[in-house]
Structure 1
């Protein structure tokens, strides 16, 4: 699995986290997780991450603020990580708000497919 992409799932719901993890592991992705926004930056700084699936409504720091922090990171490898916002409230956000935060793309919950723009 040396060639496997690593995906960070930032999700506070254990049910959604476990389901997402199982789906992606079946596709041969390596999965790491963060239960809140405080853990997201720690995870991206501690290991190479290829993509973040970012729940917008996570505790501590919401997904939009975590994405802004990733985009401002001094390490260009971290600042360029694709961030896919995941939200059950996509209608509460405009594409402009997602773009302003640095979101690469978004998926409404419940989701079933990875967006093709990631890689």
Structure 2
């Protein structure tokens, strides 16, 4: 049996963290949560992950700044991790804007967890 894939979730909402953890557990994904972009970077420095789900609007360091920092990491494996933006998109960014910021995909809030799983599976299978 293969090791479960590890997903790092950058999200400041406890409700979304808990829902996401439960949904990902159905597919045997292992999830670690970070409440802001600085915590995402700290966790990424200490551990290995297969994918990142990143909220755009977080305190301390927002998702776009965090993603740009990840894309500039010297560790090629970590800098190329799939990063999926999750956002209510209050800034009216286009899919092209998300791609230019370094994201591989974008999921609109409120989250449709079937779409979350389908998008995660697309990058992890």
TM range (shorter): over 0.9
TM-score (norm 1): 0.92
SS at structure 2 position matched to 1:102: coil
Q: Which residue of 1 aligns with 2:37?
A: 37
Verify the 8 A CA contact 2:67 2:103 in the aligned structure 1: yes
**Deviation beyond 4 Å, 4+ runs, structure 1:** none
TM-score (norm 2): 0.88
32-41 or 83-92, larger mean C-alpha shift:
83-92
User: Matches of 1:53 and 1:90 in 2, distance apart?
Assistant: 18
User: Matches of 2:99 and 2:69 in 1, distance apart?
Assistant: 14
Alpha carbons of structure 1 residues 32 and 107: separation in structure 2 relative to 1, 3 Å: same
Shift, 1:14, TM fit: 0.3
Shift, 1:95, TM fit: 2.0
Alpha carbons of structure 1 residues 26 and 88: separation in structure 2 relative to 1, 3 Å: same
Q: Which residue of 2 aligns with 1:111?
A: 112
SS at structure 2 position matched to 1:85: strand
Verify the 8 A CA contact 2:95 2:106 in the aligned structure 1: no
How many residue pairs get matched?
119
After superposition, the CA RMSD in angstroms is: 1.6
Verify the 8 A CA contact 1:68 1:101 in the aligned structure 2: yes
Give the helix-richer structure, 1 or 2.
2
User: Matches of 2:2 and 2:41 in 1, distance apart?
Assistant: 23
Structure 2, unmatched stretches of 5+, are: none
Verify the 8 A CA contact 2:82 2:103 in the aligned structure 1: yes
